[in-house]
Amino acid sequence: MKKEIMLNIKGMTCASCVGRVERVLKKDPGVLSAAVKLATEKASIIFEDTKTDPSKLIDDVRRAGYEASSLPTTEEDRLTELKHEGRSVIVAATLSLPLVLPMLFEPFGVHLMLPPILQLALATPVQLLIGARFYTSAWSALKARSGNMELLVAIGTSAAYGLSLYHLLAKSNLHLYFESSAVIITLVLLGKYLEKKAKAQTTSAIRALQDLRPETARVLREGQEVELPLAAVVAGDLVIIRPGERLPVDGIIMEGSTQVDEALMTGENLPIFKKVGDTVVGGSINGDGAVTLRVTAIGNETVLARIIRLVEDAQAKKPPIQRLVDKVASWFVPVVVGISAATVLGVGLVTGDWEAGVLNAVSVLVIACPCALGLATPTSIMVGTGMAAKAGILIKDAEALEIAHGLTVVAFDKTGTLTLGRPTVTTLSSLSSSSEEDILSLAAGVQQGSEHPLAHAILRAAKERKLPIPLVSANRAIPGKGMEGEILGRKYFLGSLDAIEELGLLTQKIRERVEELAGNEETVSCLADRSEAIVLGIVAFRDMVRPEAKRTINELHALGIKTVMISGDNLGSAQKVAHELGIGEVRAQVLPEQKALFVSELRTRGEVVAMVGDGVNDAPALAAADVGIAMSTGTDVAMHTAGITLMRGNPLLISDAIDISRRTYAKIRQNLFWAFFYNIIGIPLAALGYLSPVIAGGAMALSSVSVVTNALLLKRWKRQS
């Protein structure tokens, strides 16, 4: 049986580490896939539980030289680790400062260099104790026949320290370079500390969502009000919510009414009126009314928990550009070691100054650490998905976030996407001896259990007229055609004109009446008695266009994106909406498979296509598109199929989703530019002797910090809508 686990991994420092952990995990015969993220320090693993188990996976990671745990990392753990890193930096800096300060006075003729033995005493704890982590990790990398950042630092600083120790023991008059080895380690540690602090901010959106969950709930047990930890609350419990409190669970209001701030779901701070029978979401803020809820979901099954899980999954998955970066990183360390060795030989053989060759090689090793390369993409993805979640845009797939920046066409379903999805019955027309009330009553019976907007409209109309709704058996949906069911031993069908024609029940009279109603921009369904093989009557509907739809289309056109409509509705109704909104191309009266085929056709034209839909019938097209965008007001099937879900029924969020994608992708490109820029410029300068090891260490630390800081600028993004 397939299972998925998220492991926390400690000790990774660069893209090479990520590659090594992934390779080790994928060698396990039970692992189906493994994706490791440096920025989150997590591994998302799908495995076959009959062939392996979590403890074996943890052992696999440990054999690769890293620490792994299946327990979630708490905020307290993160703070403790950050404080430990900070203390290491302070101790290293305190020991290194006396070594480097005299160098600052040398240009002014002031000679304050410490005695050689004192330099050794200060540099040794930094090199061998504080820097022990580099040797440990480097050794693990060598055992795994790969390289990482620690290997470069360990070789570089050991060379500088070893050369100085040799000169000291030989009592030669040549320079000592203890300050280089100590300062490089200090700068690398400082860079990692600043990087960790910055990375903590990239996950702030997720932590903010997690903090929305109260730890306790006020529950009615045996008529008494008791406060219980959330773990003790079960589905079906009655929970009391007082004014101003945050809802601890998902539920249905059983008593009272109130205004609820559902900004966590919608991105909107405007409160929504809730009454008895309405559903509410855990993490929302109650307004001025006291209400009693019946619990429908707790813990990991709540809407909030699912949102957090989906965002974390998106951050764990790798977009295509990151896979390319990982390939580059896997070759990076061996190439740098080769360049470093060539530098020693080149400078030594050409100038005869082998000491300068060693120092230049140390600079090459230190400046080339691939930290920035490994952080360039995941930090941008993390901030981008986090900001989108806060705005009510749930990006479930990092690949969708990357692809969305290049969209050229957005294809829309009509009902529930561009329209309100709340059609009303406008016309009842009898074509037999049955009365209009009988037709509506039978249609409501057939539609029982359906989630289609037209079904809801029929059921509402029947209830408003207080008509009896007969019991139905063996009813089922026929995608793109209609519903059928059995009532009192007779088979009935409610569906489109094309479906009626397929049944052989279409007459000229029926066609003329349907075309007349369709000409009035009404959506038409025919009710047939299949037992008698006759059409009993017609039900016509009309749906209102969403107020935001026109602006949505205009914004997409302003972004240079074409729009098309793909609808199962009749041509007249679809064209009316398309003309009103300014959509140029329309495909109407199409089945779900035909929607998917048209999306595929658009892609063969060279278009990058997003499909926007909300129903079961949209699922094939959502899957066929480059990017599927689902409205959360629609069905679960649509939301599970799509890579992006709009957490409120507002199509304006589509342009926001494209905007955050473009900005995120721009940050990825900027970060990759800076990551490669540091190395392309720095390595040749270091090899030629224009960068001292100390300056190289500072540049390397700056590269990682600058990449993460640049990604954090995405936090300034604001919704255009």
The reported pLDDT for the residue numbered 564 is: 93
Mean per-residue pLDDT over the chain, rounded: 81
Identify the burial level of 53 via C-beta atoms within 10 angstroms of its C-beta, where 0-12 means exposed, 13-18 middle and 19 or more buried.
Answer: middle
The reported pLDDT for the residue numbered 208 is: 62
Output the six-digit token pair for 603.
């892609």
- Rounded to an integer, the average pLDDT of 104-126 is 78
- Rounded to an integer, the average pLDDT of 254-279 is 74
For residue 182, name the pLDDT band (cuts at 50, 70, 90): confident
How does strand 2-10 pair with strand 42-48? antiparallel
CA dihedral 37, 39, 42, 45 (to 10 degrees): -20
Identify the burial level of 346 via C-beta atoms within 10 angstroms of its C-beta, where 0-12 means exposed, 13-18 middle and 19 or more buried.
Answer: middle
User: Does residue 583 have a pLDDT over 80?
Assistant: yes
Distances (CA, A) of 6 to 68, 131, 221, 326: 10, 30, 36, 20
Burial 112-125 (b: 16+ CB within 10 A, else e): ebbebeebbebbbe
Task: List, edge to edge, every strand of the sheet that includes 258-261.
Answer: 272-274, 258-261, 285-286
User: Does residue 319 have a pLDDT over 70?
Assistant: no
- Tally Cβ neighbours within 10 Å of residue 443: 28
Give tens-digit pLDDT for 201-239. Answer: 555 555 666 666 788 888 988 778 888 888 788 888 899
User: Does residue 562 have a pLDDT over 90?
Assistant: yes
Integer Cα distance of 612 and 607 in angstroms: 15
The reported pLDDT for the residue numbered 51 is: 84
Is domain 392-419+545-661 annotated with CATH 3.40.50.1000? yes
The reported pLDDT for the residue numbered 103 is: 66
Most confident of the ranges 203-217, 295-309, 675-689: 675-689
CA angle 92, 94, 98 (to 5 degrees): 115
Q: Which is more confident, 612 or 10?
A: 612
Long-range contacts, stretch 172-175, CB < 8 angstroms, 24+ apart: 174/355, 175/355
Distances (CA, A) of 198 to 111, 209, 369, 575, 704: 39, 19, 19, 51, 10
The reported pLDDT for the residue numbered 309 is: 66
Please name the helix (run of DSSP H) or strand (run of DSSP E) that holds residue 673, with its range, or none: helix 653-687
Give tens-digit pLDDT for 599-611. Answer: 889 989 889 999 9
680 Cβ contact list (under 8 Å, min separation 6):
none
User: Does residue 640 have a pLDDT over 70?
Assistant: no
What CATH number matches the domain at 424-542, 3.20.20.70, 1.20.58.1610, 3.10.440.10, 3.40.1110.10?
3.40.1110.10
Name the fold adopted by 2-73: Alpha-Beta Plaits (3.30.70)
Output the six-digit token pair for 185.
């380690």
Secondary structure class of 63 (helix, strand, coil):
helix
Question: Domain 214-300, what architecture?
Answer: Distorted Sandwich (2.70)
Sign of torsion, CA 66 67 73 78?
negative
User: Does residue 517 have a pLDDT over 90?
Assistant: no
- Rounded to an integer, the average pLDDT of 564-587 is 84
What is the domain partition of the chain in residue ranges? Answer: 2-73, 77-204+311-382+665-716, 214-300, 392-419+545-661, 424-542
The reported pLDDT for the residue numbered 172 is: 64
Q: How far apart are the first and last CA of the chain?
A: 44
Tell me whether residue 413 is one of the annotated catalytic residues: yes
Please name the helix (run of DSSP H) or strand (run of DSSP E) that holds residue 90, with its range, or none: helix 75-105
How does strand 272-274 pair with strand 258-261? antiparallel
The reported pLDDT for the residue numbered 125 is: 93
Is this prediction's pTM over 0.75? no
- Tally Cβ neighbours within 10 Å of residue 170: 9
User: Does residue 30 have a pLDDT over 70?
Assistant: yes
User: Does residue 701 have a pLDDT over 70?
Assistant: no
- Rounded to an integer, the average pLDDT of 627-653 is 75
Q: Which is more confident, 366 or 476?
A: 476
Give tens-digit pLDDT for 184-193. Answer: 788 778 767 7
User: Does residue 312 have a pLDDT over 70?
Assistant: no
User: Does residue 102 have a pLDDT over 60?
Assistant: yes
Q: Which residue has the tokens 């003790």?
A: 232
- Rounded to an integer, the average pLDDT of 341-348 is 88
Which region holds residue 190: left if phi is over 0, alpha if psi is between -120 and 50, else beta? alpha
The reported pLDDT for the residue numbered 314 is: 53
Give tens-digit pLDDT for 396-443. Answer: 777 788 888 889 999 998 877 888 877 888 888 888 888 889 999 999
Integer Cα distance of 95 and 126 in angstroms: 7
Q: Which is more confident, 448 or 478?
A: 448
Query: Among 60, 326, 413, 618, which one carries the catalytic annotation?
Result: 413
- How far is residue 681 CA from its own chain's centroid? 34
Integer Cα distance of 355 and 362 in angstroms: 11
Among 341-350, 378-387, 682-691, 698-707, the minimum mean pLDDT is found in 698-707
